[in-house]
Amino acid sequence: MRKNIDNYVEKFERVIERMSMFVSEGNILDVGGGFGLFSDLISREKHLKVTMIEPHLKPFFLEGNKRVTWVKKQFMNFRGRRGTYSAITFLDVLEHFKDPLEVLQKTRILLKEKGYVVVLLPNYQSTMRLLSNNWPWWMLEDHYFHFSRQSLKKIFDISGFRLVYLESFENRNDFWLSLQGNYKWIQNIYFRKLLKILTIPALFIGYLILRPLLWRLYNGGLLLAIAQKK
């Protein structure tokens, strides 16, 4: 549990660092904030007022945090004032909507002039996906769409945004778990363990060596995109 939380903290702190290049003050809307970890982390930044939308889960990370307002609604039912927010975030969220274009169009209305939308989602053109027979981020029961950097840029253009920042990355733990999925088909537990011992270390070392290049080529497991309202 602790390792999983640390994994998310590492990922969200990276998002906050990138956001700080564009947003230093104002209102932030965190859509689909889950247990509230990202909202809690970003609320510690000065000059930011955070509202989190989460219709289902109880945000236990926000217990005692009076800097974040929790709205228990679906995003499309949220009646925020137009032109209110400096940035709206969708972290591991946009792919869960049946109509992401409609979501981004509403986002544009809620944003201030020149405001930003921040999106973090799986990259289906990633090396992780190509190396894994059981890519954990397919999640066909929950993910209605999968994006590449090209399709993400296109949907931003259509919905009235200009892409200003894009990178791909993944945490080492995510890549490690993705490799593990390749061995689930092996029924014999002893043969499975032996094959893991013989192959995973070499694959993982090769990945660590090539990782900077893979990220530069946008082949990381995640896409982090920041787009500005036109």
Indicate whether 53 pLDDT > 80. Answer: yes
What residues contact residue 81 under an 8 Å CB cut-off, 6+ apart? Answer: 110
Does 87 score more than 70 pLDDT?
Answer: yes
Q: What angle, rounded to 10 degrees, do the helices at 149-158 and 100-110 form?
A: 50
Give pLDDT tens digits for 112-141: 999 999 999 999 888 777 777 666 666 566
pTM: predicted TM-score of the whole model, two decimal places = 0.90
Structure confidence by residue, pLDDT tens digits, 11-43: 999 999 999 999 999 999 999 999 999 999 999
Q: Are strands 111-122 and 85-91 parallel, antiparallel or unpaired?
A: parallel
The per-residue b/e assignment along 195-205, b for 16 or more CB within 10 angstroms, e otherwise, is eeeeeeeeeee
At position 102, the amino acid (one-letter code) is E
Contacts of 143 (CB under 8 A, 6+ apart): 95, 96, 122, 137
For residue 225, count other CB atoms closer than 10 A to its CB. 24
Structure letter (DSSP) for residue 169: E
Q: How many CA atoms does the CB half-sphere of 171 hold within 13 Å?
A: 16
Q: What is the mean pLDDT of residues 202-221?
A: 90
H-only helix segments in 68-166: 100-110, 127-131, 149-158
CATH numeric code, 2-123+137-170+219-229: 3.40.50.150
pLDDT band at 199 (very low <50, low <70, confident <90, very high): confident
* Residue 137, pLDDT score: 62
Q: Looking at 41-50, 125-134, 204-213, 221-230, which range is the least confident one?
A: 125-134
The token pair that represents 227 in the structure block: 């787009």
Q: Where are the domains of the chain?
A: 2-123+137-170+219-229
pLDDT of amino acid 174: 78
Helical (H) or strand (E) element with 42: helix 37-42
